[in-house]
């Protein structure tokens, strides 16, 4: 009895393993040969239908939950929207140093002068633009991932069944396939790099290494069920200059590399990742920095300049925000990449959060992030290639960076926020004191009549105070894929 049960179990496991591996192999083959079977688009359309069904069920159920007066029925307030204040109350750009109730000309200090500061502070406590950029984006409807199920603990039996089926599907059918493909992709990446580095330098080597890179990234993309739509490919970088894009997750690299070959810039890591970095740098011309070197901005820029001069080397890809943002906004760009006197090709990447949140902020470590992506439904995104931009005569790098940023934000339908995202993760108070000094300076000018003409010595250096364009009220967060 036991042996028959055991043998049935073994048979099930065997067929399961065969099924999973063959699916994986098939998808890898599809990647190598670059066939588009349209499987992924059909899959995504089906998913949308299921989500909508789930949403209808939830909407019907919600009034019932609220009307039930039983005390043990918890009313989880997280189901509500993120907005707290009326629109025009909120919409002033952060760090707006002009106070709302500034009196012109400077008049004598009165006790009332604290009131505007209190007002803006309380407003910022209740709702501020910068924090919203770093929280995971809210969804129009529930996509049956537990991690986004904030408000609905028990809705209906039917929905729970569908949710459980989805969970099982994602973890036991999708995940093993994806995991195998990911491993295969990485092995292929290293192998192809090793092979290509052996080839003699020349046109053949470049051509083969470009082809090999594209193929391996395509395979890695399939490991994530990545479905990217590329718009305006005519604007794509050919082989020169720099490509800049907004940053949401390390996946951005895969998304962009499927369509074009780039040279990466980054810090040399250690362990397995560092080994991969070293190997692929031998075959393709990536720029990796040692940790100490990366602090020296001048050295970084010099190396990038050398790279850009060489016409055989591919376009450099950089993410000027310097940190992962939640894809609803585009934060301040660091100006380093804009000092190189070469054309800049901006790219806007916008993920559709319904299928899986690509934002790396919601999970604490890289492994957790990868796990959550490998078990989500899919990664769906739009990529817009914007027309090339050049530095205007007389424009400095910081303004050029800002101009590019605004274009990217507008094209991707994201809100632009002129705040340095590193501040958020940095505990040092350098940025705070610099901005606070600026605030104090403005206050001193408006509040107090200066008796002396002494200018303060400790005036903050303003190279990071980028001049903002006036706020464009049409730039709003419009989630794509609103089908």
Partner 1 sequence: MGNRATIVLDKSEVDEIEEETGFTPSQIARLYNRFTALDKSGSGSLSRADFLRIPELAINPLGDRIVHSFFKGCPDDQVNFRQFIKVLSIFRPARRNHDPVKNTWQNKLKFAFQMYDLDEDNKVSVDEILTVLQMMVGVNIPDDQLQSIAERTLQENDKDRDGFITLEEFLTAMETSDVDNRLSLRFLS
**Which positions touch partner 1 (CB under 8 A)?**
69, 71, 73-86, 89, 94-95, 101, 108-128, 130-131, 135, 419, 423-424, 432, 435-437, 439-441, 443-445, 447-448, 450-452, 454, 456, 458
Beta carbon nearer to partner 1, 387 or 456? 456
Beta carbon nearer to partner 1, 252 or 418? 418
Cα–Cα distance for residue pair 142/61, rounded to 1 Å: 13
Q: How many CB atoms lie within 10 A of CB 422?
A: 16
Tell me the C-alpha to C-alpha distance, in Å, between residue 285 and each of 182, 261, 265, 347.
23, 11, 10, 21
> Closest separation between CB of residue 88 and partner 1, Å?
8
- CA nearest 265: which of 283, 243, 298? 243
Beta carbon nearer to partner 1, 299 or 447? 447
> Closest separation between CB of residue 429 and partner 1, Å?
8
Largest Cα span, the chain: 100
> Closest separation between CB of residue 435 and partner 1, Å?
4
> Closest separation between CB of residue 450 and partner 1, Å?
7
**419 CB contacts (<8 Å, ≥6 apart)?**
94, 95, 129, 130, 133, 331, 332
Phi first, then psi, for residue 412 (nearest 5°) are -85, -5
Beta carbon nearer to partner 1, 3 or 365? 365
Rounded to 5°, the CA angle 442-444-445 comes to: 65
> Closest separation between CB of residue 193 and partner 1, Å?
40
> Closest separation between CB of residue 292 and partner 1, Å?
29
Beta carbon nearer to partner 1, 91 or 169? 91
Which tokens go with 323? 């940190």
- CA nearest 319: which of 383, 255, 253, 268? 253
Beta carbon nearer to partner 1, 187 or 432? 432
What's the Rg (C-alpha) of the chain?
26
Rounded to 5°, the CA angle 246-251-254 comes to: 100
Cα–Cα distance for residue pair 295/297, rounded to 1 Å: 6
Beta carbon nearer to partner 1, 236 or 447? 447
Beta carbon nearer to partner 1, 306 or 445? 445
With beta carbons less than 8 A apart as the criterion, state whether 133 and 329 touch: yes
Q: How many CB atoms lie within 10 A of CB 176?
A: 18
Beta carbon nearer to partner 1, 114 or 366? 114
With beta carbons less than 8 A apart as the criterion, state whether 237 and 203 touch: no
Q: Which helix (H) or strand (E) holds 206?
A: helix 203-223
> Closest separation between CB of residue 118 and partner 1, Å?
6
- CA nearest 449: which of 110, 76, 72, 59? 110
> Closest separation between CB of residue 76 and partner 1, Å?
5
> Closest separation between CB of residue 363 and partner 1, Å?
14
């Amino acid at each position: 009895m036991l042996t028959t049960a055991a043998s049935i179990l073994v048979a099930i496991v065997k067929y399961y393993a065969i099924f999973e591996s063959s699916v994986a192999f098939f998808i890898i083959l599809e990647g190598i040969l670059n066939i588009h079977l349209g499987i992924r688009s059909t899959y995504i359309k089906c998913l949308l239908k299921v989500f909508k069904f789930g949403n209808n069920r939830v909407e019907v159920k919600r009034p019932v939950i609220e009307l039930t007066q039983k005390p043990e029925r918890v009313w989880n307030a997280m189901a509500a929207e993120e907005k707290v204040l009326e629109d025009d109350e909120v919409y002033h750009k952060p760090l707006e140093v002009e106070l709302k109730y500034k009196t012109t000309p400077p008049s004598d200090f009165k006790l009332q002068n604290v009131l505007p500061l209190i007002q803006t502070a309380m407003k910022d406590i209740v709702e501020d633009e910068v924090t919203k950029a770093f929280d995971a984006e809210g969804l129009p409807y529930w996509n049956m991932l537990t991690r986004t199920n904030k408000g609905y603990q028990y809705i209906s039996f039917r929905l729970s069944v569908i949710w459980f089926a989805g969970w099982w599907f994602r973890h036991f059918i999708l995940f093993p396939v994806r995991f195998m493909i990911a491993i295969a992709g990485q092995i292929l990446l290293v192998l192809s790099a090793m092979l290509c580095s052996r080839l003699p330098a020349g046109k053949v080597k470049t051509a083969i290494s470009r082809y090999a890179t594209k193929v391996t990234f395509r395979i890695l993309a399939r490991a994530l069920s990545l479905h990217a739509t590329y718009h305006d490919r005519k604007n794509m970088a050919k082989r020169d200059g720099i490509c800049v894009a907004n940053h949401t997750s390390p996946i951005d690299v895969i998304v962009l590399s499927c369509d074009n070959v780039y040279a990466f810039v980054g810090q040399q890591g250690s362990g397995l990742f560092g080994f991969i970095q070293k190997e692929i740098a031998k075959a393709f011309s990536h720029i990796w920095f040692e940790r100490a070197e990366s602090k020296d901005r001048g050295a970084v820029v010099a190396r990038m300049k050398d790279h850009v001069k060489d016409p055989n080397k591919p376009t450099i890809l950089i993410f000027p925000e310097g940190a992962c943002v939640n894809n609803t906004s585009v934060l301040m760009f660091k100006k380093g990449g804009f000092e190189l006197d070469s054309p800049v090709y901006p790219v806007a990447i916008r993920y559709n959060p319904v299928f899986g949140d690509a934002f790396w902020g919601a999970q604490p470590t890289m492994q957790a992030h990868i796990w959550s992506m490998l078990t989500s439904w899919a990664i769906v995104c739009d990529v817009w290639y914007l027309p090339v931009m050049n530095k205007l005569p007389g424009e400095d790098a910081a303004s050029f960076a800002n101009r590019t940023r605004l274009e990217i934000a507008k094209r991707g339908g994201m809100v632009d926020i002129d705040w340095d995202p590193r501040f958020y993760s940095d505990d040092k108070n350098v940025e705070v004191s610099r901005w606070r000094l600026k605030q104090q300076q403005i206050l001193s000018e408006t509040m107090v009549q200066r008796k002396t003409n002494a200018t303060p010595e400790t005036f903050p250096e303003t190279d990071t105070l980028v001049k903002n364009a006036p706020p464009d009220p049409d730039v709003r967060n419009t989630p794509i894929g609103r089908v």
